Structure 1
Amino acid sequence: MADEVEYEALPSNAGFGVNMLAGALAGITEHAVMFPVDSIKTRMQVFATSPAAVYTGVGNAFTRISSTEGIRTLWRGVSSVILGAGPAHAVHFGTYEAVKELAGANETGNHWVAISLAGASATIASDALMNPFDVIKQRMQVHKSEFRSVFTCARVVYHKEGLNAFYVSYPTTLTMTVPFTAVQFTVYEELKKLLNPSGAYSPTTHMIAGGLAGGVAAGVTTPLDVAKTLLQTRGSSADLEIRNTKGMVDAFRIIWQRDGLKGFARGLSPRVMTFMPSNALCWLSYEFFKAAIRE
């Protein structure tokens, strides 16, 4: 039909603002829907001192948290994500589309290097904005967290630990998310071409390609995510060694000493479970909002 929107047929240079707004809406949708699973992942990655905070799997964590703390606990910290995800994803997708256009990735042919560069550039920019919100989110997610308000958490963490607390994990975050994003965007773009070579409107293609790309990228980067969680929640730990962790090298050492190789796979299942559907939803939302805003 003449009035039907064909996402892939829309011009790639529709504007930086369009891509930013589409990315913001997609980011909020993605994170809000999958937040309970992300809360479980954080709990499983933390080196807890109390047996009550040690979980054997996603189902075990969900059942115990729901029965002892209430189902609403799984949503604690979601406001931090909503506040940060919109602007961060706006910057992320806006930068991605801008660099992709500048690098010539929108031309005919295989441009995986340009796509990887665009993805990595997008991550560096968005993580600088999102990192403090992620720290607050995880401080609110941990077992027996004292925080119920984003602003109270931000104020207390800043007062007790200084500005450094919000960025101590930033190098680790970049070490994780640059390859994560490069892998994710590359796999997504290649699968999209493979599954839908005609470029016709196909939300199923966006969901499948986005989900698989997210799952692959999440699995590959889980060890770095474990280190990031340790750094971001160090101020809430009763363990003196963890509280004095200075950076990624210290975090890796602690993980290896305490849990060996399996320690780097902490939270793997809920992380993949989070990123497969959330990335599928994110890409579907992004492509939809981008097309709708352009129209």
Structure 2
Amino acid sequence: MPSYVTDANLSSYELAFCGGMAGVVSRAVIAPLDVVKIRMQLQTHRTHFGFNPLSSDVKYSTIRQALKTILKEEGVRGLYKGNMPAEYLYLSYSAVEFWAYKELEQAMEGLDKKGKVPHTIKTFGCGMIAGCAATAATYPFDLLRTRFAMNKEPQMANISVTQAMVDIYNKEGPRGFYRGLWPAIIQIMPYMGLLFSSYDVFAKGFKNYKPTHDMASGAMSGFFSKIVVYPFDLVRKRMQMEGSHRAESNNRRLSWLTCIKTIVKQEGIRSLYKGLAPSLLKVAPANAVTFMVFEETKDLLIWFKEYN
């Protein structure tokens, strides 16, 4: 039995096209919040649970204040730093992800012809593996997005994606494109598994409330999944920035586990959730738009095939 995401009338390549379209549109919607989230994640001030007055040296304290600061210092373009590699990332990531999900679902249905494996387990497993495949395939774009989002030097404002890739290769070698890959994989496995399985449940439950149910289901599934895996997202961003700092010129690399321990020791355990608020504000509309555009594109392709 196919999940709500897939459709028997569409091939994996057609679903990849739907996913790519959804990725491009959703990225355009959430770009400013993504920049704010990354800026907050990379601040190294200590945080505590409970009442936590921010010190004066914390540059980005709240979402509103961070947006105003970036606009004042860097203009509107500052809110879209890293958007080009991010568009490449969302386009390719979503295309690979939905293609892999369809292929995995078909393979799993073939192996479990008697239907002994619960449907939720299937959607979780397919989402988990599809997310890993998409992350590994598109990770350099994710790293470039982070580097561009944190770049505040005026002379570097017009650097192209190609120039940035050449610079990373020359200074850090091929491994430089994959800094922080392991926490990304560890994060994406439960995240995408939960995202697809919970979306399947929500979407089937709300299917009588079209056209808004795709957006609502996507928003709720993204919100729930992001909270669970957020610390690994923060660690990934910290590791991605290692090679861009002069202090890291000796090519010293920290493992993701060492990075977590260092953050907790120096900044407090609550620091593993720095930037969570803009991330949650971002993930709800991002997944809402992603699944809405995906479903609408899917319906359009099905209509076009039937019409012809």
Distance 1:41 1:140 in 2: 13
Q: How far does residue 277 in structure 1 lie from its aligned partner after superposition? A: 0.5
Pick the aligned partner of 2:264 from 256, 263, 266: 256
More deviation in 132-141 or 244-253?
A: 244-253
Distance 1:260 1:226 in 2: 14
Q: How far does residue 89 in structure 1 lie from its aligned partner after superposition? A: 1.2
Output the TM-score relative to the length of structure 2.
0.85
* Identity level (%): 24
Quick check: 1:175 aligned with 2:175?
no
Quick check: 1:72 aligned with 2:68?
no
Residue in structure 1 matched with residue 52 of structure 2 by the alignment: none
Residue in structure 2 matched with residue 151 of structure 1 by the alignment: 162
Residue in structure 2 matched with residue 17 of structure 1 by the alignment: 13
- 1:53-132 aligned within 5 A: 54-104=59-109, 111-132=119-140
Q: How far does residue 215 in structure 1 lie from its aligned partner after superposition? A: 0.7
Q: Where do 5+ consecutive residues of structure 2 fail to align?
A: 46-55, 304-308
Q: 1:154 to 1:52 in 2, by over 3 A?
A: farther
Q: How far does residue 244 in structure 1 lie from its aligned partner after superposition? A: 3.0
Q: What SS does the aligned partner of 2:152 have? A: coil
Q: What SS does the aligned partner of 1:185 have? A: helix
Distance 2:61 2:249 in 1: 24
Distance 1:277 1:218 in 2: 13
Residue in structure 1 matched with residue 200 of structure 2 by the alignment: 189
Residue in structure 2 matched with residue 4 of structure 1 by the alignment: none
Q: 1:15 to 1:192 in 2, by over 3 A?
A: same
Residue in structure 1 matched with residue 31 of structure 2 by the alignment: 35
Pick the aligned partner of 1:275 from 264, 276, 283: 283
For the 8 Å contact 2:242–2:248, the answer to whether it is kept is no
Q: Where do 5+ consecutive residues of structure 1 fail to align?
A: 1-7
Q: What SS does the aligned partner of 1:203 have? A: coil
Deviations 1:56-84 (A, max 9, x none): 11111101110111121110111112223
- Alignment root-mean-square deviation, CA: 2.7
Q: How far does residue 93 in structure 1 lie from its aligned partner after superposition? A: 0.4
The residue type paired with residue 251 of structure 1 is: C
Q: 1:238 to 1:9 in 2, by over 3 A?
A: closer
The residue type paired with residue 150 of structure 1 is: V
The residue type paired with residue 62 of structure 1 is: L
For the 8 Å contact 1:234–1:242, the answer to whether it is kept is no
Q: How far does residue 143 in structure 1 lie from its aligned partner after superposition? A: 4.8
Q: How far does residue 136 in structure 1 lie from its aligned partner after superposition? A: 0.6
Report how many aligned residue pairs link the two structures.
284
Q: How far does residue 285 in structure 1 lie from its aligned partner after superposition? A: 0.6
For the 8 Å contact 2:33–2:282, the answer to whether it is kept is yes
Q: What SS does the aligned partner of 2:212 have? A: helix
